[in-house]
Amino acid sequence: MKTLIVQIKCELGRAYEVAAHIIDNVTPCHIYSISGPYDLLALINLESEIDPGLFVTQKLHKVPGIRDTSTMIAFNAFTPAG
């Protein structure tokens, strides 16, 4: 499993529409509205066999209303098991 942390910049007034489209049509994930230069923060868990670069360019970048993204990959979780 790979975790992507994707900051998403949207066209003006389209953040809620973009978030709903990603959740409904692209992938189940957690999406937060955030302050700063980006509008949304998506936490996406990908299966190990899925290429993160292809996922972002072929899935996320095709969502109507997205202007820009910044992607990070998380490698290890240091959260204690609950």
Task: Render pLDDT for 17-65 as a digit per residue (tens, 0 to 9).
Answer: 999 999 999 999 999 999 999 999 999 999 999 999 999 999 999 999 9
**Domain boundaries, given as residue ranges, for the chain:** 2-74
User: Could you tell me which of 57, 68, 3 has the C-alpha nearest to residue 26?
Assistant: 57
% of the chain residues with pLDDT over 90: 84
Architecture per CATH, domain 2-74, reads as 2-Layer Sandwich (3.30)
**Would residue 62 be called left, alpha or beta, if left means φ above 0 and alpha means ψ between -120 and 50 degrees?**
alpha
pLDDT for residue 82 = 60
7 and 52 Cβ atoms separated by less than 8 Å: no
Q: How far apart, in Å, are the Cα atoms of 18 and each of 4, 37, 43?
A: 17, 16, 14
Beta-sheet strands, E only, within 1-82: 2-10, 30-33, 40-46, 66-74
